[in-house]
């Protein structure tokens, strides 16, 4: 069945709301942090992830949607469709399990690469705020059009992945900001750039296997681009051709104002 992008967007909204409800209902369960399997991407699957992913598949059945699915937990699931739903059922799952209110469900529709993602939704599992975008039609937060922030020198706020495995380049960029945040949820930090709350987001770990999967960034990538910002890897190489599969990972540098990206390179921030 052929659907318009607006109809597809409405389906993604309904899936995201259902996932949030399921996650909130699981809040009292003592088993939500229990590891129940190893995900297709090689990471442990906690009960919370399983609950959220099961809700995604249940919604697809209820909506009579034949989209194929790429999920961090289940991997690629061929459901006979021409479209691919790229899912992170709980982005920031460590936050969610620790009670730190910074987690989302990320949903993006495309076919083969980041360049053909044309509908994306990032829904905050804690406060219900929804960011979304349709390719060529702009980015929005709860119905309000998003525009990335114009860069003002010496006022920068950066979101930077920091911790045991982050690189010296990440620490160096953090030193250049007036303020730095490290939220532990890539999709949420990317949409902070899209809505102008942050000037840039940077994620680079010390080994490729610790960098981000496409499930982490697919929806937010489109949202940043549609807000007027840009996204590359940490070395400023384009990532449009990044495949919609779990086999690769990437570092990420996202910015709201292209002039800041140029400044960061020329001044040796990265």
Per-residue DSSP letter, 166:
B
121 and 203 share a domain? no
- Chain segment 17-31, per-residue pLDDT in tens: 999 999 998 865 544
- Diameter of the chain measured on Cα atoms: 52
Structural domain contains residue 111: yes
Q: Which CATH number covers residue 18?
A: 3.30.540.10
138 and 185 share a domain? no
The dihedral through the CA atoms of 244, 246, 249, 254 has a sign that is: positive
Q: Is the pLDDT of residue 39 over 80?
A: no
Q: How far is CA 229 from the centre of its chain?
A: 15
Element (H, E) at 160: strand 157-160
Question: What confidence category does residue 66 fall into, taking pLDDT thresholds of 50, 70 and 90?
Answer: very high
Q: Count other Cβ atoms within 10 Å, centred on residue 74.
A: 21
Total domains in the fold of the chain: 2
Q: Domain range spanning residue 136? A: 5-145
Cβ neighbors of 96 (< 8 A, separation 6 or more) are 23, 48, 90, 103, 125
pLDDT of residue 269: 81
Q: Name the region of 11 (left: φ>0; alpha: ψ -120 to 50; beta: rest).
A: alpha
- Chain segment 129-143, per-residue pLDDT in tens: 999 999 999 999 999
pLDDT of residue 36: 46
223 and 110 share a domain? no
| 264/224 Cα distance (integer angstroms) | 18
- Chain segment 223-245, per-residue pLDDT in tens: 999 999 999 999 999 999 999 99
| 57/75 Cα distance (integer angstroms) | 13
| 235/184 Cα distance (integer angstroms) | 21
Structural domain contains residue 152: no
Element (H, E) at 10: helix 5-25
59 and 168 share a domain? no
Nearest CA-CA partner of 60 in 116, 3, 103: 3
């Amino acid at each position: 069945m052929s659907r318009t992008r607006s109809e597809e967007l409405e389906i993604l909204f309904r899936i995201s709301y259902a996932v949030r409800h399921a996650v909130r209902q699981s809040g009292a369960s003592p088993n939500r942090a229990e590891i129940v399997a190893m995900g297709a991407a090689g990471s442990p699957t906690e009960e919370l992830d399983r609950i959220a992913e099961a809700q995604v598949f249940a919604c697809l059945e209820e909506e009579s949607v034949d989209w194929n699915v790429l999920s961090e937990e289940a991997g690629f699931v061929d459901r006979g469709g021409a479209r691919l739903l790229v899912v992170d059922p709980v982005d920031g799952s460590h936050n969610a399990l620790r009670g730190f209110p910074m987690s989302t469900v990320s949903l993006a529709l495309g076919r083969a690469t980041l360049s053909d993602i044309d509908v994306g939704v990032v829904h905050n599992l804690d406060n219900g705020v929804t960011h979304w975008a349709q390719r060529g039609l702009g980015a929005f937060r709860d119905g309000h059009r998003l525009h990335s922030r114009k860069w003002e020198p010496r006022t920068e706020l950066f979101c930077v992945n920091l911790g045991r495995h982050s690189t010296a380049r990440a620490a160096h960029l953090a030193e250049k900001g007036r303020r730095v945040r490290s939220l532990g949820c890539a999709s949420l930090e990317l949409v902070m750039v899209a809505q102008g709350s942050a000037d840039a987001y940077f994620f680079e770990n010390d080994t490729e296997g610790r960098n981000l999967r496409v499930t982490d960034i697919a929806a937010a990538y489109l949202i940043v681009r549609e807000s007027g910002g840009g996204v590359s890897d940490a070395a400023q190489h384009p990532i449009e051709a990044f495949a919609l599969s779990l086999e690769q990972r990437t570092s990420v540098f996202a910015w709201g104002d292209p002039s800041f990206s140029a400044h960061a390179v020329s001044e040796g921030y990265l």
